[in-house]
Amino acid sequence: MNTNRFILLSCGLFSIACLLARCASPIQKAEAENKKSTEETSSLETFKLTKGQLSSSIRIPGELIAYQQVDLYAKVSSFVKKLNVDVGSVVSAGQLLATMEAPELNSQLAGAESRLKSQEAVYLASKATYQRLLETSKTPGTVSQNDLDLALAKQNSDLAQFQASQAAYREVGDTKNYLEIRAPFSGIITAKNVSAGAYVGPSGKGSEAPLFTLQEQNKLRLVVSVPELYSSYLGQHDEVSFSVKALPNESFKAKVARLAGALDVRLRAQRVEMDVINNKKLLPGMITEVEIPLTGGEHAFVIPTEAVLNSTLGTYVIKVENDSTKWIPIKIGRQADGKSEIFGSLEESNQLVKLATEEVRDHEPLTAQ
């Protein structure tokens, strides 16, 4: 009897002990975790804040255009007599491209020449008359002063008419010279819109399309619209690299030659032009991908991106001051290669937490390492 009672009492005590152990284990576990968390947060790795230079780049689309391009029209209404070039022809400055014909111009030139000769004869006659009267007037009483003045006036009038006839003759001659179409600069004929015998004239008066399109391709212009945010990073003579889809394995270089100096009101971007020496691989009209380096001066604080705390309240860095933490609000600049530019109420040599998380509370005591 006593033995059974002892066994029952032992079992009861063992059950109570197990129950107490089971109840105590979560409490002890929580205390252990809190102790571990306190030990982890009480000692964090920090670094000294310094100013640095962050180098990165952006890629924006650009376009290659001809360094010079011109559409050639006929100056006067005429017919195409002969074409000396075709699409793809390489021409030099002053080379004859086409010859036109306008029969009425020949008649106008002949008429202007006849009038010029007639007026020249009239002028020479009046000049001779004046000279004879002038010589005769040297003998007193032979010629009145009035007759001499009239002869001089007639000579001057005929001279003016003669000069007008010369100008009219030159005008018709210059117009006839327009029947020859010559290249204004060296380049390549990229378009031809007429054939021999076609009626041509100034734009809207016989020709809607130009006779030829001439482009200079030995040197090209790379045109890029740089957004306002990055316009300060590109200056005169800065070098950029670019690529084209037609040659994906090749990279080309270009230097900034011209800056617009103003932003486009629609795009809010600055037009930038680079000169590209063409090696016959590039063509006007190609779309390019331009890589623009963004290298600023050492005027901003540069820190590891992991040291930036992005919380629901804003963007912060955690500063260690007087053995406690302090959340400092900041603004983020450029980011590249795991680093970020930051701007805020900070000074050089401030100690910041290297790995910023929300577990590190504001105004929490710790020991900096």
- Mapped onto helix, strand or coil, the DSSP state of residue 154 is helix
**Exposure of 200 by Cβ count < 10 A (0-12 exposed, 13-18 middle, 19+ buried)?**
buried
Predicted confidence at residue 262, as pLDDT, reads 92
Site of tokens 């009480």:
42
N-terminal to C-terminal alpha carbon distance within the chain: 69
Predicted confidence at residue 6, as pLDDT, reads 53
- Mapped onto helix, strand or coil, the DSSP state of residue 54 is coil
Distance CA 82, CA 97 (A): 9
Site of tokens 């100013």:
51
Contact 91, 97 (CB under 8 A): yes
CATH architecture of the domain 299-368 equals Beta Barrel (2.40)
What stretches of 73-187 show up as alpha helix (H) in DSSP?
103-136, 145-177
Beta-ladder partners of 187: 91
Beta-ladder partners of 214: 70, 189
Q: Kindly give the confidence (pLDDT) of every residue in the chain, 369 residues in length, as a single tens digit, with 9 standing for 90 and above.
A: 455 565 555 555 556 655 545 544 454 554 545 444 444 444 578 898 888 877 778 899 999 999 999 999 988 888 999 999 999 999 999 999 999 998 888 888 888 889 999 999 999 999 999 899 888 888 887 888 888 889 899 999 999 999 999 999 888 888 888 889 999 999 999 999 999 988 888 866 656 788 999 999 999 999 999 998 888 888 888 899 999 999 989 999 999 999 999 999 888 999 999 999 998 889 999 999 999 887 765 677 889 999 999 988 899 999 998 888 999 999 987 777 788 888 888 988 888 999 988 888 888 887 545
Beta-ladder partners of 99: 82, 180
Phi/psi at 7 (5° precision): -65, -45
Beta-ladder partners of 61: 289
DSSP 8-state assignment for residue 120:
H
The answer as to CATH 3.30.390.10 being correct for domain 62-66+217-295 is no
Query: What is the number of other CB atoms lying within 10 angstroms of the CB of residue 158?
Result: 21
Query: How many Å is the maximal CA-CA distance in the chain?
Result: 189
For residues 37, 43, 45, 51, the Cα torsion angle rounded to the nearest 10 degrees is: 120
Tokens of 340: 């970020």
Domains of the chain, by residue range, sit at 62-66+217-295, 68-192, 299-368
Entry pTM: 0.62
